[in-house]
Amino acid sequence: MSLVKSLLIVTVPIISLGLVPSNIKAQYSSTLYSPYKRPNESRSVCLNFQTGLRTSSREPCDLQYGLLGINNDFDWLQVGMGQEIRTVIRDLGKFDWNDQFDVPTIAALPKLQPGEKRVVKIDASGAYGANVAPGVNASRVDPGSGVIQAREIQLDSRNPRPVMWEPAPPRPKQDGKPKVDPAFVKAVVGHMYVVHVVNEVSDYYALFRVDTLENGACTLSWKLIPPPQK
């Protein structure tokens, strides 16, 4: 099982500033391959919306597929995540190119200040167990089993009354879904996505649709679009 775990540190602002009708057709079709599901094949693993497919993720890359694996599920898309890259992505839902739908403006990530680093955050730990009961302090929560390990009540020999640990704050159950950084989106067949690509030299929008997912391959139809009107 391939699994990426880290703590959440940075919040990504994605703000809808305006809407425009799309009613446009795709111009290109491309297939991206997961390097983990297709490890011994020289396949396209990177899409630059301006220059096309690349076989190396070290080249300028706007979109990749299949680099994140959670419970052996590699159907995840991610935008470029270099320190100077401010690209954002949003899932618009299920649409066909013949449909009429709205494309929102989405704000790029803020520029990093000197000394700042952009950190990607993923929590794939799953659901927690029940809330902590009053009178005990949870010292550890095992996300895999849902078991709460709690310290026992302590007794003071000088005072026969139980000395209770400070009650731990309630810990709500999680829904079991991975909490993934907004740089990633789930690849879903039939869904349309908008990408706002921003880096040191570029600032533009693209639309793409996931047409097929099969055996570590994701086929997309896509098109560059003008920035939506604010």
For 118-129, what is each residue's pLDDT tens digit?
877 777 665 444
Q: Which residues pair with 160 in a beta bridge?
A: none
| 28's tokens | 């290109």
Q: Which residues contact 55 (CB under 8 A, 6 or more apart)?
A: 42, 43, 44, 45, 46
Rounded alpha-carbon distances, angstroms, from residue 188 to 42, 92, 160, 162: 24, 11, 61, 55
Confirm if 91 and 188 have CB atoms less than 8 A apart: yes
Task: Mark the ranges of the chain whose per-residue pLDDT is less than 70.
Answer: 1-24, 57-59, 124-176, 230
Q: What per-residue confidence (pLDDT) applies to 172?
A: 57
* Residue linked to tokens 């940075």: 10
How confident is the model over 37-69, as pLDDT tens digits?
888 777 888 899 998 888 776 667 899 999 888
Domain spans in the chain, listed from the N-terminal domain onward: 16-124+178-225, 126-175
Q: Which residues pair with 206 in a beta bridge?
A: 195, 224
Q: Which residues contact 24 (CB under 8 A, 6 or more apart)?
A: 97, 207, 223, 225
Rounded to 5 degrees, what are φ and ψ at 30? -145, 155
Confirm if 115 and 123 have CB atoms less than 8 A apart: no
The pTM assigned to this predicted structure is: 0.69
